[in-house]
Amino acid sequence: MSSAPLIQGIHHISAISGSPKVNFDFYTQVLGLRFVKKTVNFDDPFTYHLYYGNHHGSPGSAITFFPWAHVVQGSPQTGEATATSYGIPFGGLEGWQEHLLRQGVSFEGPFDQFGQKVLELKDPDGLQIQLVEDAGVSGVEHPHLEVLDESSAIRGFFGATLDVADIGPTAELLEAFGWSFEAEESGVHRYRAPGGHGIGKVIDLVQQTHGEGSFGKGTIHHIAFRVPNEEAQAAWVDQLTHMGFSPTPVQERFYFKAIYFREKNGILFEIATDEPGFTADESIEELGSSLMLPAWYEPHRTKIEQALPGLKAPIARY
Ligand code: ZN
């Protein structure tokens, strides 16, 4: 088997939402994430592709949405990622409870999971979100934001939950990525990326809690894992092929290069490069401020801009 480099964490998570305006307000004003990229679905330029992350839009912080105002309601299902979790500093949940009450957003908890304090809530489309107090994320640089202060603000993903029919094959794949089993609690099997602390380092495997759900808003389309560059990605294409998977050809996503494959429980996995990142076409200061279009749609910019619903300026200013 070839020696592909270990996979250091989650790169991004992509999900389906309803109204882009409602999605935008929730992720910027309730979760306090930065709006890092406003672009369109490359296959359908009259639909947004919205990205929210931390200040730098670092790999391991970005959740992306394809918002379709009239899409059917989805429900979580086995063979899918069913929850995203965000890492906040140790002690930060107190500030979150006050903030969510002020925003009129209901939540459950805090409760204890693997010795960490966790709060659970849902986004407006029903996507399950956890906020996890994690001392390991406090080192992630965090500039001033207006929504939540430094003691509470999200630093990036803590991890994600995958609902599987059989834990074995997905666990084996994570182990091939270089991840290791950490602990099991109440049916949740926790795997951790090499290097331990930081953002996007945890995958929780849960065996069949959801059964047959359906695709639609409030569901996660795929989860992407990170590699530094195209060379590492190519090594993974070889390795995955040797392991019996069928990765796609490399897809140009402008901010990263992507390959996709279905792991053995049916979850769509992506392997994405850290290079070039979200600063490929905007500076750190400008991230998310303009509608970014691929070159082939530029001649149609006016028509596209007129067709897309307006999103007001993010509340967090830089
Ligand atoms: Zn993706």
Ligand 1 centre from 259 Cα, in Å?
Answer: 9
User: Phi then psi for 301, rounded to 5 degrees?
Assistant: -55, -50
- pLDDT one-digit tens code per residue, 172-210: 999 999 999 999 999 999 999 998 789 999 999 999 888
Ligand 1 centre from 276 Cα, in Å?
Answer: 15
Ligand 1 centre from 271 Cα, in Å?
Answer: 8
**What is the reported pLDDT for 140?**
85
Ligand 1 centre from 286 Cα, in Å?
Answer: 22
**What is the reported pLDDT for 3?**
81
**What is the reported pLDDT for 9?**
97
Ligand 1 centre from 84 Cα, in Å?
Answer: 14
Ligand 1 centre from 124 Cα, in Å?
Answer: 21
Q: Which residues surround ligand 1, an ion (CB under 5 A)?
A: 14, 224, 270
**What is the reported pLDDT for 188?**
97
Ligand 1 centre from 224 Cα, in Å?
Answer: 5
Ligand 1 centre from 183 Cα, in Å?
Answer: 28
**What is the reported pLDDT for 142?**
73
Which residues in the chain show pLDDT less than 50? 1, 314-318
Ligand 1 centre from 115 Cα, in Å?
Answer: 31
Rounded to whole angstroms, how far apart are CA atoms 198 and 196? 7
Where do the structural domains in the chain lie, given as residue ranges?
Answer: 10-307
- pLDDT one-digit tens code per residue, 52-79: 999 999 999 999 999 988 899 999 999 9
Ligand 1 centre from 298 Cα, in Å?
Answer: 23
Ligand 1 centre from 93 Cα, in Å?
Answer: 29
**What is the reported pLDDT for 149?**
85
CB of 247 within 8 A of CB of 255?
A: no
Ligand 1 centre from 270 Cα, in Å?
Answer: 6
For domain 10-307, give the CATH number: 3.10.180.10
Ligand 1 centre from 255 Cα, in Å?
Answer: 11
Ligand 1 centre from 227 Cα, in Å?
Answer: 13
**What is the reported pLDDT for 261?**
98
**What is the reported pLDDT for 313?**
56
**What is the reported pLDDT for 315?**
47
Ligand 1 centre from 222 Cα, in Å?
Answer: 6
Ligand 1 centre from 109 Cα, in Å?
Answer: 30
Ligand 1 centre from 221 Cα, in Å?
Answer: 8
Ligand 1 centre from 37 Cα, in Å?
Answer: 14
Ligand 1 centre from 12 Cα, in Å?
Answer: 6
Look up the pTM and report it: 0.95
CB of 51 within 8 A of CB of 57?
A: yes
**What is the reported pLDDT for 317?**
41
Ligand 1 centre from 64 Cα, in Å?
Answer: 8
Ligand 1 centre from 92 Cα, in Å?
Answer: 29
**What is the reported pLDDT for 143?**
65
Terminal-to-terminal C-alpha distance of the chain: 47
